[in-house]
Amino acid sequence: MEKAINRQRVLLDHLRPSPSPHNFESTLSASACLAGDSAANQRTSAFGDDVVIVAAYRTPLCKSKRGGFKDTHADDLLAPVLKALIEKTNVDPREVGDIVVGSVLAPGSQRASECRMAAFYAGFPETVPIRTVNRQCSSGLQAVADVAASIKAGFYEIGIGAGLESMTINPMAWDGDVNPKVEDFQKAQDCLLPMGVTSENVAHCFGVTRQEQDQVAVDSHRKAAAATASGRFKDEIIPVPTKIVDPKTGGVLPIVISVDDGIRPNTSLTELGKLKPLFKKDGTTTAGNSSQVSDGAGAVLLMKRSVAMRKGLPILGVFRTFTAVGVDPAIMGVGPAVAIPAAVKAAGLDLEDIDLFEINEAFASQFVYCRKKLELDSQKINVNGGAMAMGHPLGATGARCVATLLHEMKRRGRDCRFGVVSMCIGTGMGAAAVFERGDGCDELCNGRKVKSNNLLSKDSR
């Protein structure tokens, strides 16, 4: 955008009248287009070159080890959302150029095999490739961004970005020894800090109180409970047929999970105030104001706009930009406060242009800090609750947030044009992506369609 403005200034300098004895000031001036150069984005959409999302779904999120998915294999979580993308859009699965799945905790080769198996369960042929990606808590969002980048690069025209995590099957743990070299590098040592300790560091460094943290946790449960009761999650959740095994008798009960099971509608400040800190004796981070350990999956179907138009598919959203940044590992929760402005600027926008935010609630401390640092309107953030209420299945969270954001933007219509998904990332990073509602591009009022390219050189035809 800055380069474009500079070019415009140079042009205007050539157009200015020559100095006269009357010293009249020129009325010519350069300025940035509103809403991130809407005209340029409208041109891109007119040619069908931008990347759009036509479907985004998720499973319910369930409490690890004691929730509805405690006896469900990881591949049986991913398969239903992959299948839903194809069945609900009638896209031929043979046309999918790649499936990228964000996942964090499982051994890489095992999870890669499970994802391949899930694709077969979902009806994809052997010709469709699949791979995994791990950028910890942003893995699901990274998967979506990787697919969008590949479509933009011309590698394929249709792809799926997904996320998967079973924290029941694969709990957080360090496997093997730690390199003793870490003792000589403070930043490397900080990469090994428990996430709850980094939450305490954020609260201490930036003065986030226990009262503030407990309040946003109560708000998260309240909003998620209201969204569930009013059916706002129905468009994004795919019910999952599975089973529950009785640990005492071994009996198997077939069930269908269709709602998030970690939401506590009656959560109160009084109740949360009774919980003891988990990571520091006089700390403020508790089980009640932290994200829940969960199981779940999500998937997003992306394609080139021209392909979506040719197939007659409604466009749920437009992928605009993605940014990942590095921050101090000891306060890794500040990641969104750095990543969001970078992604918004890359989209040619200002923070004031963003109508809706999905910021992962890894911990209340970091969520409160990021909201304050960016001076965001609390009415625009996590309007249907977040990870403190629904859960944070690490690799799946990014895809879940994209689904939640885009369906809410669709519900709000023209009052909601731009949205952001963001999260902090263990070891000190942050990620953010900007999306536009599917029908959000402004119409050009002074453009005309070029019916032929006779004025172009023969080499460019």
Catalytic residue among 392, 407, 416, 441: 392
Label the pairing between strands 356-359 and 418-425.
parallel
Q: Would you say 120 and 178 are in contact if contact means Cβ atoms under 8 Å apart? A: no
H/E run at residue 98: strand 98-102
Question: How big is the chain by its Cα radius of gyration, in Å?
Answer: 24
Question: Is 22 considered catalytic here?
Answer: no
Q: How many CA atoms lie within 13 A of 262 on its CB side?
A: 30
Distance CA 30, CA 5 (A): 7
Catalytic residue among 137, 370, 401, 441: 137
Question: Is 137 considered catalytic here?
Answer: yes
Catalytic residue among 62, 115, 401, 424: 424
- Nearest-5° Cα angle at 173, 60 to 297: 20
Partners of residue 99 on adjacent β-strands: 130, 160
Task: List CB contacts of 346: < 8 A, sequence separation 6 or more.
Answer: 321, 323, 434
Question: Is 392 considered catalytic here?
Answer: yes
Across 119-177, the runs of DSSP E, i.e. the strands, are: 130-133, 158-166
Q: Look-up: residue for tokens 């590098």?
A: 185
Q: Would you say 437 and 416 are in contact if contact means Cβ atoms under 8 Å apart? A: yes
> In a 3-state reduction of DSSP, which class is residue 1?
coil
Q: Which residues are catalytic?
A: 137, 392, 424
